[in-house]
Amino acid sequence: MGDVLGSEALDPAELSRHRRTVERFLLEYECAIDEVETKVRVLRRELSAIHSYNPIESFSSRLKSLDSLARKAQKRGLGSLAQIRESLTDIAGVRVICSFTADVYRVRDMLCRQDDVRLVVEKDYIARPKPNGYRSLHLILEIPVFLSTGPVTVPVEVQLRTIAMDFWASLEHKIFYKYDGDVPSGLLADLTRTAESAASMDGEMERLHREMQSFRTPDDEAEVTEAVLRTLTRLARGLGD
């Protein structure tokens, strides 16, 4: 893009004067989100249709707002879009919620095996939780976006976590927002303790899932298939009446 915003640190007024250029800049990140979401959606559809188990419960995305981008650029002393592109890797974000901890790594592997995806950074807060108990797998992936002017490579932050991890992180975020970051020490201790409880529950539920899967047999699959066919037949007959 070039140094279209000058050499001074960015501020909201400066961003407003160059809104069209900045919107074009953010468009690339928005398209990169679309690319990652499509990859996740395809995996989810394939695993649901072809395999007996789909590890992806849900997914969501977010793009930093202009105000948020301006504040972070000011904080970092970034004076151009080129500097922002080089320094900030969390402008675009996708969060994938998985059923179990093993699924987090399974989905990570499926994404990173794709030819047009490059893993830049991986931070494993599941294996090494933050001091407050936060757990999640953070990836920075470089994704090609094909525009009319040619391809551009865009970083996307992908967070993978279990349902329990996501519930805890959402609660922690609400508490910090309520107390404006100044959370009482007793409540912080409770948060850390509940993070351990959530991790323990994740492990126990995954153990139960593996135990349940070990009892599945080809006959079970055949019975399910026959039951589905009988239901479809009844529905078809009902539509024909």
pLDDT < 50 regions, the chain? 1-7
221 is a catalytic site residue: no
69 neighbors 41 (Cβ within 8 angstroms)? no
DSSP code, position 150: E
pLDDT at 5: 44
The active-site residue out of 86, 157, 196, 204 is 157
pLDDT at 182: 86
Structure tokens at 34: 């679309």
pLDDT at 45: 93
pLDDT at 234: 67
User: 168-185 b/e with 16+ CB inside 10 Å = b?
Assistant: bbeebeeebeeeeeebee
pLDDT at 3: 46
pLDDT at 207: 85
Q: Which domains does the chain have, with CATH numbers?
A: 12-240 (3.30.460.10)
Residue 22: exposure state from Cβ atoms within 10 A (0-12, 13-18, ≥19): buried
pLDDT at 229: 67
